[in-house]
Amino acid sequence: METIRNQMLQLLEVTRRETSLSLSSVDFDRVVYHEHPVWRVRDVVGHLGVWNGEAAQAIRAHAEGSEYHCIPSEEKYDEYNGLAVAERRTWDAEQVWDEYESSSHQLKVLVETMPAEKWYSEMLYPWNERGNIQNLIEVMMRHEVEHREVITTSRRF
């Protein structure tokens, strides 16, 4: 179990570090998703921060013997994401980045402190699906990498 925990901690650290480095010189007001409504870099970073925070809440609930989810079904993803982005539209880049950093740190601490007996048991994910902690962390970090790649490949030079 400790090997898997260490792998997940490494994945969290590497993903956060690569996101930080990749976005350090990016204009946070640049549009990266052109659908309606458009999402700027800051909106995507805010989206990542929100979901890392939701994952942290789900892991914390699991550690405490309860469950947490923020949306009742897959049909509600877009509505939830839209509301979360709209809430952060007035935040400056520093506030958005602080939330991302804080939620990433929360995930790391929760993975570090998860009781061994809870590690492999099934838990409820924030989007109302079930799985184990390892899979949740892997899904969350793939999600971050996918968004980071959209941001970095759409750069204007």
Task: Give me the tens of pLDDT residue by residue for the chain, a chain 157 residues long.
Answer: 789 999 999 999 999 999 999 999 999 999 999 987 899 999 999 999 999 999 999 999 999 999 999 998 878 989 999 999 999 999 999 999 999 999 999 999 999 999 999 999 999 999 999 999 999 999 999 999 999 999 999 754 3
Give the start-end residues of each E strand in 60-129.
Answer: 123-124
CA-CA distances (angstroms) from residue 29 to 44, 91, 126? 11, 12, 28
| Total domains present in the chain | 1
The pTM of this model reads 0.93
DSSP annotation of 45 reads H
Domain that holds residue 73: 2-153
- Which run of H or of E encompasses 32? strand 31-33
CATH number where 113 lies: 1.20.120.450
Q: How far is CA 155 from the centre of its chain?
A: 22
